Amino acid sequence: MKKTLFLLLITALITSCSTSPNRVIKYMTNDGCGISVDINKFGDAKIVSHKYSEKEQCFVIKFNKDLKTIGNTAFYRCYSIVDFVIPPSVTNIGVGAFAQCVNLYSIEIPENVTTIGEKAFADCKSLSFVKLDKAYIGNNAFANCNAIEAIEINCAKFGNHFQKKPNLRFVTLGDNVTSIDYAAFMGCVSLTEVAIGNGVEYIGDCAFQYCESLESISIPDNVTSIGKEAFSGCKSLESVATGNGVQTISNEAFSYCESLKHVIIGNGVQTIGDEAFSSCYLLESVNIPDNVTSIGKKAFDMCSLKNITIGNGVQTIGAGAFSWCKSLKNVTIGNGVQTIGDEAFSWCDSLENVNIPDNVTSIGKKAFYGCSLLASTAIGNGVQTIGAGAFSGCESLKSVTIGNGVQTIGSKAFCLCTALESINIPDNVTSIGFEAFSSCTSLANVTIGNGVQTIEGWAFSGCKSLEGIDIPKNVTSISGDAFRDCKSLKRINYCK
């Protein structure tokens, strides 16, 4: 019995004499010399010893109790430190604690740290690796740490402390991260790999803007919104996959991603913002799911899309949404679309045919302007307005079916459609706009519906193949030069 008690006592003594990692700071220097330390910069913990350990091949500072605080400027301008181990018990790193430790290479912030003070690591010009967990980060905490190459972050929020880090190549965001803040990594021109954790719900405006070396990005299902210009100007970005949780792709989110070829839009997306993929010059294909209700202005302007299917949930195709997509050959417009915006498909030089479904009520100004290979179009019965210049300059357009719901044909709507041979204007149309069919040099047959009341000036001017026309009895106004330069016109019949 006595022997057992003796052994237990010895074991307790040995245990009590061993140093807890919470009471030890370890560091290495590039000159083999220790640093001078202010003993008053560690809260209520006091230094017991400070010496080099042959066993551990580093300097060791021991304290009389668990270390909670590394105080303001505790290691300020300790130029020789190259590596540093912070005790796991530390909760607070003070203002400027490691500022201007110009040779400090890597730092791992323990998970218990809740606060990193202002300029804590400012001007640590050799700092290459940073690992953060849970801490609040003060202003300019990592200012001028331009050598950072890799970051692991597991803080719920971490601000934009790592923007414009020219050598940052790898970013890993843990599952505790809930948002990527405004301009978080903007201008990190060397960034090539980003792993986004499953906890992220929001990618902020300009978060990865001008990350010119980033080649691919996968956005997990927990993300609900991609902010404005989030990936704008990522010139090397080739592929994007958005998770099914994403609801909004904001304005200019992927604009000027000049190498972008492949985009997978998740089924949860409802809004594709203005210029979201504008000037993605190499983008050849994209799926637009049925959940999408709105395609913003110039959303896919100046892309290389060849075929596009617009889902049945889309209600609005914004102004210029697909303008200058010069490789676009085929468009399928979903049955839910109500509005085709101004210049939505203008200058789509390769577009050959398009059918506009019955749900569409309005075709905007210059919607298909300059689609020089467009050969045929059928306008659904729900369309009420064909906007000014809607099909102007469609030089190959031979066949047009105008739906029975159309009431207004805007000015220059079919101007310079030089291949158009015949047109039937239905009875619901009340007005034929200024120069609506001007310079349709092949137009030989025109049927004007009984509902037409006004034929504006120059409406059929320059229709050199037109030989005869019947004017319905309801027409009350024919403006000047409506049939000017119709050199083959031999017969005009006013119906009574």
Determine the Cα–Cα distance for residues 483 and 392; give it in Å rounded to an integer.
Answer: 18
* Domain contains 293: yes
What is the span of the domain harbouring residue 370? 354-496
In a domain, residue 226? The reply is yes
List the structure tokens of 283: 């983008």
- pLDDT attached to residue 3: 37
Average pLDDT of the chain to the nearest whole number: 94
CA–CA distance, 437 with 457 (Å, rounded to integer): 11
Nearest to 136 by CA among 103, 119, 159: 159
In a domain, 4, yes or no: no
One domain for residues 154 and 142: no
Q: Taking Cα atoms as reference points, which of 205, 250, 198 lies closest to residue 221?
A: 198
Do both 381 and 427 map to the same domain? yes
Last residue of a domain, one of 106, 123, 147: 147
Q: Among residues of the chain, what percentage have pLDDT more than 70? A: 96
Q: In this structure, are residues 103 and 78 in contact, taking their beta carbons and an 8 Å threshold?
A: no
Which pLDDT belongs to residue 134? 82
- Distance CA(76)–CA(66), nearest Å, equals 22
Q: Is residue 10 part of a domain?
A: no
CA 382 centroid distance within chain? 34
Do the domain assignments include residue 282? yes
What SS3 string covers the chain?
A: CHHHHHHHHHHHHHHHHCCCHHHEEEEEECCCCCCCCCCCCCCCCCEEEEEEECCCCEEEEEECCCCCEECCCCCCCCCCEEEEECCCCCCEECCCCCCCCCCCCEEECCCCCCEECCCCCCCCCCCCEEEECCCEECCCCCCCCCCCCEEEECCCCCCCCCCCCCCCCEEEECCCCCEECCCCCCCCCCCCEEEECCCCCEECCCCCCCCCCCCEEEECCCCCEECCCCCCCCCCCCEEEECCCCCEECCCCCCCCCCCCEEECCCCCCEECCCCCCCCCCCCEECECCCCCEECCCCCCCCCCCEEEECCCCCEECCCCCCCCCCCCEEECCCCCCEECCCCCCCCCCCCEEEECCCCCEECCCCCCCCCCCCEEEECCCCCEECCCCCCCCCCCCEEECCCCCCEECCCCCCCCCCCCEEEECCCCCEECCCCCCCCCCCCEEEECCCCCEECCCCCCCCCCCCEEEECCCCCEECCCCCCCCCCCCEEEECC
Does 288 share its domain with 421? no
pLDDT at 18 over 80: no
Query: Could you tell me the CATH number of the domain that includes residue 187?
Result: 3.80.10.10
Closest by alpha carbon to 379, among 407, 411, 343, 405?
Answer: 405
Q: How far apart are CA 56 and CA 74, in angstroms?
A: 23
Q: What is the pTM of this model?
A: 0.90
Judgement on whether residues 399 and 298 belong to the same structural domain of the protein: no
| 481 shares a domain with 419 | yes
What span, in angstroms and rounded, lies between the C-alpha atoms of 60 and 64? 13
Q: Looking at the structure, do residues 278 and 214 belong to the same domain, yes or no? A: yes
Predicted pLDDT at 231: 98
Domain membership flag for residue 349 = no
pLDDT at 92 over 90: yes
CA dihedral 230, 236, 242, 248 (to 10 degrees): 30
- In this prediction, residue 93 carries a pLDDT of 97
- Give pLDDT tens digits for 346-399: 999 999 999 999 999 999 999 999 999 999 999 999 999 999 999 999 999 999
Q: Do 297 and 387 reside in the same domain of the chain?
A: no
For 411-448, b where at least 16 C-beta lie within 10 A, e where not — what string?
bbbbbbbbbbeebebbebbebbbbbbbbbbbbbbebeb
What mean pLDDT do residues 270-290 have? 96
In a shared domain, residues 102 and 191: no
Q: How many domains does the chain have?
A: 3
Percent of the chain past pLDDT 90, that is, above it, reads 92
Residues 162 and 113 in one domain: no
The yes-or-no verdict on residue 4 having pLDDT over 70 is no
Residue 404 and residue 450 in one domain: yes
What pLDDT band is residue 156 in, cutting at 50, 70 and 90? confident
The verdict on 132 and 172 lying in the same domain is: no
| Residue 385, in any domain of the structure | yes
Query: Looking at the domain assignment, is residue 487 inside a domain?
Result: yes
Terminal C-alpha separation, the chain = 129
Same domain, 175 and 286: yes
